[in-house]
């Protein structure tokens, strides 16, 4: 059975996984700003694989893998065999992670579906009942919003995101935490509600990304949390596009 190197290269973090055609075997995460050829080389020395698939939204870092990987390498694009349709005017503008999420949710959870991915931005990607990617929504990420308050105000502190004890904060930190978490749940709920109203059939709502467990904990609209959704999508695409 073939083994793959899977790379999900995003603005905040880069996830690397070793997989075979059926499952993920190993995973590691590197902050993207610390991603170097030397660091990648150290990891690749320990992993044996036949083929690499890179999904990147950070073009200036993609070259690290092009130079470091000695096995055949493909990069996510609409030209690959994805197993889903792309009903989108400019499919080449869809982020690699969003393509992987769409492929993964269709195979792992069914259609119609909405993927809510909590990354540097929060993205909502919609797959129709017929299995076509039909578009999405992009909003600022939760971490970006709270960091902006800290960076742009003189007196507001930097906060660690967690479940608030109450919606009424008894300190500046508690008030910021309540605004961030309760406010973000409101944003996600409204967008999901508007999307679902336009879909045919009962939609599967799947959350992934760093803040998915926190936001989904008290937001029933997010039915499933799938932390490996993107990597599993890369694995599925790799399996469908093995070099001959």
DSSP state of 121: E
Q: What share of the chain is helix, strand, coil (3-state, %, to 5)?
A: 40, 25, 35
By C-alpha distance, which of 209, 202, 204 is closest to 229? Answer: 209
DSSP state of 157: P
Distance CA 20, CA 238 (A): 9
Active-site position among 20, 50, 97, 147: 97
CA-angle at 111, arms to 21 and 7, nearest 5° = 35
By C-alpha distance, which of 89, 97, 83 is closest to 125? Answer: 97
Distance CA 171, CA 175 (A): 6
Has 226 been annotated as catalytic? Answer: no
Instruction: Count Cα atoms within 13 angstroms, Cβ side, for 198.
Output: 11
- Size (the chain), residues: 244
- Per-residue burial over 218-228, b if 16 or more Cβ lie within 10 Å, else e, is ebebbebbbeb
Tokens (6 digits) for 145: 């919003």
Q: Give the containing element (helix H, strand E) for 216.
A: helix 212-216
Tokens (6 digits) for 202: 């009962």
Catalytic residues: 97
């Amino acid at each position: 059975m073939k083994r793959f190197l899977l790379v999900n290269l995003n603005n905040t973090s880069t996830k690397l996984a070793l997989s075979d055609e059926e499952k993920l075997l190993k995973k590691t995460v590197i902050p993207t700003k610390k991603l170097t050829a030397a660091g990648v080389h150290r990891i690749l020395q320990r992993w044996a694989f036949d083929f690499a698939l890179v999904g990147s939204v950070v073009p200036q870092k993609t070259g690290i893998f092009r130079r470091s990987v000695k096995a055949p390498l493909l990069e996510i694009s609409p030209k690959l065999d994805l197993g889903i349709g792309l009903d989108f005017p400019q499919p080449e503008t869809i982020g690699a992670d969003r393509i992987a999420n769409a492929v993964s949710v269709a195979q792992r959870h069914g259609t119609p579906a909405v993927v809510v991915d909590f990354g540097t931005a929060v993205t909502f990607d919609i797959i129709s009942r017929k299995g076509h990617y039909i578009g999405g929504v992009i909003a600022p990420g939760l971490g970006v919003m709270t960091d902006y308050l800290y960076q742009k105000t003189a007196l507001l502190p930097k906060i660690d995101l967690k479940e608030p004890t109450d919606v009424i904060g008894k300190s500046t930190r508690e008030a910021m935490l309540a605004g961030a978490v309760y406010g973000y749940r409101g944003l996600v709920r409204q967008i999901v509600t508007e999307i679902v109203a336009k879909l045919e059939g009962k939609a599967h709502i799947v959350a992934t990304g760093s803040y998915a467990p926190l936001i989904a904990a008290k937001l029933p609209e997010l039915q499933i949390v799938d932390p490996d959704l993107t990597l599993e999508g890369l694995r599925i695409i790799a399996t469908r596009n093995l070099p001959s």
